[in-house]
Amino acid sequence: MSVDRADGPAAAPRATAPAPASAAEDESGSLGRNVRRKEDRRLVTGHGRFVTDLELPRMRHVAFLRSPYGHARITGVDATAARDAGHRVFTGRDFAHVVLRAQSALPSYIETDQPILAHEKVCFSGEPVAAVVAKDRYRAEDGLELVAVDYEALPPTVCAWQEPREPVHPEAPDNVLLQRTFDAGSVTDAFAAADLVVERELVTNRHAGNPMECRAGVALWDAADGKLTFWNGTQVPHIVRNMIAELMGLSEGKVRVVAPDVGGGFGVKAVLYPEDVALCLMAREMPGIPLKWVEDRAEHLLAAAHARDHRYLIKAGFAADGRLLALEADVTCNVGAYSVYPWTAGIEPLMAGGLLSGPYKLDNYRCTVRGVATNTAPAGPYRGVARPASVFAMETMFDDAAARLGIDAIEIRRRNVITPEDIPYKMPSRLVDDSGHYGECLDKALDALDHPAFRAEQQRRREAGENPIGIGVALYNELTGLGRAASAGPRMPFRTGHDACTVRVNPDGRVTVISGVTSQGQGLETTMAQIVADAIGVRYDDVDVRIGDTDEALWGFGAFSSRQAVIGGGAAHNTAVAVKEKLVKLAAELIEAAEADVRVVDGEVYVVGDPKAQISVAEVARVAYLESNRLPDGIDPGLDATTFFDPIRGAFAAGAQAAAVEVDRTTGELRILKYVCVEDAGRAMHPQIVDGQIAGSVAQGLGGALFEHLVYDDAGNLSTGTLLDYLMPTSAEVPDMVIGHVSHPAANPLGVRGVGEGGTLGPNAVLAGALRDALGIEVNALPISPASVWKELHP
């Protein structure tokens, strides 16, 4: 795969993305430039520090015994043989007093308990039942074979839209853990007035997150201090600290969570899992002995959060001119055996219902969403949460309607899309769109695709009887950087709108940033350093960033909902501005200039109009820490600050994707000839990182559209238990792509919009649309495979 920028090489963003007045924008700034990533020296030279790399004295290794049944009562657990062989064994009874109970104040939500190690019954194949501690992982797995568990099989339910055979939880006899109806306007009347009603049943495919590094943890209980340290490959260390402290009855100050380098997360590492809690509980039972568990790929596919197993019964009414008049949908999301902690079973259904209408104007909307428990692994957050599916459903309506009304598929979208004039636009789910730049993204995408050339080629092939090509497009709005008013998640007992940041100018004038953001490869160290360097006026190379340790950073909710550039970045900027205020005040006194005339550039302090530096930041800092004799009256020692930032609302990021594909009629193979993605990242702080996020998420979306599919058999066993059967896209399958930008700064301190997830939203819809355009066939189930296309061609 290679990436082209639609608007030429980087550097352009400086010109095209004017920074708001609050951010530094002088010649020496690092924002908007592809500065060398701080983390890369370590990551690309093999010096990354992942949880797996952690070696501690006396360390022991943990393996989990997992249920071979999708649904069964546990009638006996006998660990005698394993203990006789010298293993330490923990079973469900040992931790029966602790449960994961994800909370939400939504009226219809039914709270259920997830055990740490199952003891009464198992609810999905792969659920942990016991844990063995041994000298190494090999021996721990030997020990698993010596633990005998008796099961009494119960009938499993794996499909969320079939009658449950036996409830997963007695509290929810119909397996429905949550249901909500979105209702706006007058849907019935609008359908009655429609010239065309299209109706479809669409099923999307179940995914695994599959970061390159699977889950991992090392837990150590220090009995003398009564303190737990948990090195955890998590996206959310502060949430983990908060939850572990609460679950274990510890004070938060006695729990330290460290997320060192983390090799990808994509949402599945934003969940607190029973294995995490088990590790910490076991560590408390074994003081002074670090316990390590590194999930292997088979465990990941079995038991880490799944996603996107949805069915949409969807119906849209259109006027003859293509205007969307009404939308009605019934959305069922398979949430698996348990409500993921702490996000709940609402995470996917509520997102699906809240954003189904996407970037389109719509007054009449009725949508019932439900989260249904089944005997499958719990479903949770995964890059793009629900929207790769909901965008597919929505765009399918337009492709369908366009074909039936004889309107061009692109034109029908233009007639319905929210425009900048409509902003702020209140969506029927009451979310407020602050973007409206979809049309511009679409124009740019079609330009980059060279749409007319492909249309001509399409015609030529039709006439020549060659393999057909088709063009597909999708528009989407990605809700990013959610503040308290739009906060992620379904009315949980916490609001994820803010992050904190500490900025210290050290006595030598260099800067240390201790940020609440976390990184799973997105380059947050770099971004935070750029923001702080520019806000203070020091060189990028003079800023160090420390992240991922709850004993250092005051607070951060972590990585999810494309929030960190906006929120963590905003906190870094505001904090740096606060530090700069003091720096300027102190410097002004020291050089006897007016504060308003002081400028700080590249670590030197200037007075307006004088090209000669008056004093260095290093010297000012030295005074602040070491030479109180030089401190002016009224200025305290030190040069640092800690502040919080909450953008209150969110920032919508507009996006458009388009592709031309070729289909082999004889084999059903689909070849992507060209793929284009244009997004509004607001101001691109580091263009290469932004492009990397977009390219990666499009690749992940293409994987979901064409390959990835977790399949359970009727007995509740996962049929796709290894990467031999669960197909991930490789570099050979991901096409070269063109990435373009429109840059409309958002209303936050840096003018940025999130870019972490949007790319995943388009591919399902784009490829389904392209297939329809090429062959006239309808895609009703994902993924699109040669076999599924072939079947449509040979009914």
Partner 1 sequence: MKCAPFDYVRAGSVEEVVKVLGEADGDGKILAGGQSLVPVLALRMARPSVLVDVNRIPGLARIRPVDGAVEVGALTRHSRLVEQTHHPLLAEAARWIGHTAIRSRGTTGGSIAHADPSAELPVVAAGVDATVTIAGPSGERTVAAEELFLGALLTSLDDGDMIVRVRFPLPTRWGFAEFARRHGDFALVTAVVAEIAGSLRITLGGVAAVPQRARAAEQIVADGGSAKDAARATADEIDPTADLHGSAPFRRAIAGEMVRRALAQVGIE
Residues that bind partner 1 (CB under 8 A): 137-138, 141-142, 296-299, 666-668, 707, 709, 711, 719-720, 724-725, 727, 729-730, 732-733, 785-787, 790-791, 794
| Residue 733 DSSP label | T
Distance CA 480, CA 488 (A): 9
Q: Maximum distance among all alpha carbons in the chain?
A: 88
Task: For residue 408, count other CB atoms closer than 10 A to its CB.
Answer: 12
**Shortest reach from residue 206's CB to partner 1, in Å:** 13
Q: Judged by CB, which is closer to partner 1: 224, or 732?
A: 732
Q: How far is CA 746 from CA 30, 439, 695, in A?
A: 19, 17, 22
**Shortest reach from residue 710's CB to partner 1, in Å:** 11
**Shortest reach from residue 779's CB to partner 1, in Å:** 17
Q: Judged by CB, which is closer to partner 1: 141, or 443?
A: 141
Backbone angles phi, psi at 430, to 5 degrees: 75, 5
**Shortest reach from residue 703's CB to partner 1, in Å:** 10
Distance CA 378, CA 215 (A): 15
Buried b (16+ CB within 10 A) or exposed e, 573-586: bbbbbbbbebbbbb
Q: Judged by CB, which is closer to partner 1: 302, or 479?
A: 302
Q: Judged by CB, which is closer to partner 1: 126, or 740?
A: 126
**Shortest reach from residue 291's CB to partner 1, in Å:** 17
Task: Classify burial at 103, counting beta carbons within 10 Å of its beta carbon; exposed 0-12, middle 13-18, buried 19 or more.
Answer: middle
Q: Judged by CB, which is closer to partner 1: 137, or 254?
A: 137
**Shortest reach from residue 48's CB to partner 1, in Å:** 20
User: Are the beta carbons of 550 and 256 closer than 8 angstroms?
Assistant: yes
Q: Judged by CB, which is closer to partner 1: 80, or 666?
A: 666
| Residue 271 DSSP label | S
Q: Judged by CB, which is closer to partner 1: 544, or 733?
A: 733
Distance CA 773, CA 399 (A): 9
**Shortest reach from residue 78's CB to partner 1, in Å:** 20
**Shortest reach from residue 190's CB to partner 1, in Å:** 41
**Shortest reach from residue 791's CB to partner 1, in Å:** 7
User: Are the beta carbons of 77 and 147 closer than 8 angstroms?
Assistant: yes
Tell me, rounded to whole angstroms, the distance of Cα 464 from its chain centroid. Answer: 45
Concatenating the DSSP letter of every residue in 667-715 gives T--EEEEEEEEEEE-BS-SSHHHHHHHHHHHHHHHHHHHHT----B-TT
Which residue's structure tokens are 């330490």? 88
**Shortest reach from residue 115's CB to partner 1, in Å:** 24
Q: Judged by CB, which is closer to partner 1: 42, or 791?
A: 791
**Shortest reach from residue 346's CB to partner 1, in Å:** 31
**Shortest reach from residue 298's CB to partner 1, in Å:** 5
Backbone angles phi, psi at 417, to 5 degrees: -75, 150
Omega prior to 611 cis, within 30 of 0: no
User: Are the beta carbons of 309 and 382 closer than 8 angstroms?
Assistant: no
**Shortest reach from residue 146's CB to partner 1, in Å:** 12
Q: Judged by CB, which is closer to partner 1: 594, or 787?
A: 787
Task: Classify burial at 248, counting beta carbons within 10 Å of its beta carbon; exposed 0-12, middle 13-18, buried 19 or more.
Answer: middle
**Shortest reach from residue 297's CB to partner 1, in Å:** 7
Q: Judged by CB, which is closer to partner 1: 309, or 691?
A: 309
User: Are the beta carbons of 203 and 252 closer than 8 angstroms?
Assistant: no
Q: Judged by CB, which is closer to partner 1: 180, or 709?
A: 709
**Shortest reach from residue 89's CB to partner 1, in Å:** 17
Distance CA 771, CA 661 (A): 8
Q: Judged by CB, which is closer to partner 1: 460, or 791?
A: 791
Q: Judged by CB, which is closer to partner 1: 66, or 180?
A: 66
Q: Judged by CB, which is closer to partner 1: 701, or 756?
A: 701
Q: Judged by CB, which is closer to partner 1: 596, or 732?
A: 732
Backbone angles phi, psi at 181, to 5 degrees: -115, 125
Task: Classify burial at 69, counting beta carbons within 10 Å of its beta carbon; exposed 0-12, middle 13-18, buried 19 or more.
Answer: buried
User: Are the beta carbons of 109 and 94 closer than 8 angstroms?
Assistant: no
User: Are the beta carbons of 206 and 309 closer than 8 angstroms?
Assistant: yes
Q: Which residues on neighbouring strands pair with residue 99, listed in sequence order? A: 115
Q: Three-class SS string for 551-612?
A: CCCCCECCCCCCCCCCHHHHHHHHHHHHHHHHHHHHHHHHHCCCHHHEEEECCEEEECCEEE
**Shortest reach from residue 671's CB to partner 1, in Å:** 12
Q: Judged by CB, which is closer to partner 1: 183, or 669?
A: 669
Q: Judged by CB, which is closer to partner 1: 140, or 393?
A: 140
**Shortest reach from residue 669's CB to partner 1, in Å:** 8
Q: Which residues on neighbouring strands pair with residue 672, listed in sequence order? A: 661
Q: Judged by CB, which is closer to partner 1: 210, or 357?
A: 210
H/E element holding 499?
strand 499-505
User: Are the beta carbons of 771 and 473 closer than 8 angstroms?
Assistant: no
What angle separates helix 617-626 from helix 567-591, to the nearest 10 degrees? 80
- Residues 6 or more apart whose CB falls under 8 angstroms from that of 556 comprise 237, 238, 499, 500, 515, 516, 517, 518, 547, 568
**Shortest reach from residue 715's CB to partner 1, in Å:** 16
Q: Three-class SS string for 129-186?
A: EEEEEECCHHHHHHHHCCCEEEEEECCCCCCCCCCCCCCCCCCCCCCEEEEEEEEECC
Helix (H, G, I), strand (E, B) or coil at 27: coil
